[in-house]
Amino acid sequence: MTENAEPGPDLSREASDLRIAVFRLARRMRTERAVDSMSDGQFAVLAVLSVHGAHTLTELADRERVSAPSMNRTVNCLQEAGYISRSADESDGRKVVIDLTGEGRTVVDETARRRDAWVEGALAEIGSDERVILASAAAIMQRMVAR
């Protein structure tokens, strides 16, 4: 199915080249956002809530691998901006549930639209053979991150 490559100078160079390319692509795509003043960490919280639904502060901190105090600062900023809401958990009133507001969902949707449009424009500038290669690479990268 897949070839197992032996570690060595060629594999190390390939790994480095891929890391740099992915980093530069991700950095370029992050510039396409609906709110320029929003940090990557703040947008990541909105994206998590959009994809996975409401979370407690602890759940968000764990998912994003940050401390609870750090997540609390991020959540406070997002709440002040009107992008998220806090409410009591229906099953445990001691817990607070954090969720997107309509405005927060709009930011996520518009950012995704802008990023997709940028990628679509970049794809339009290359040939169909390269687009096929990138589609295969995307599938391979999805498998890599799923391990």
Structural domains for the chain: 9-146 (1.10.10.10)
Per-residue pLDDT of 83-108, as tens digits, reads 999 998 888 878 899 999 999 999 99
Task: Classify the phi-psi angles of 2: left when phi > 0, otherwise alpha if psi is within -120 to 50, otherwise beta.
Answer: beta
Per-residue pLDDT of 8-62, as tens digits, reads 678 999 999 999 999 999 999 999 999 999 999 999 999 999 999 999 999 999 9
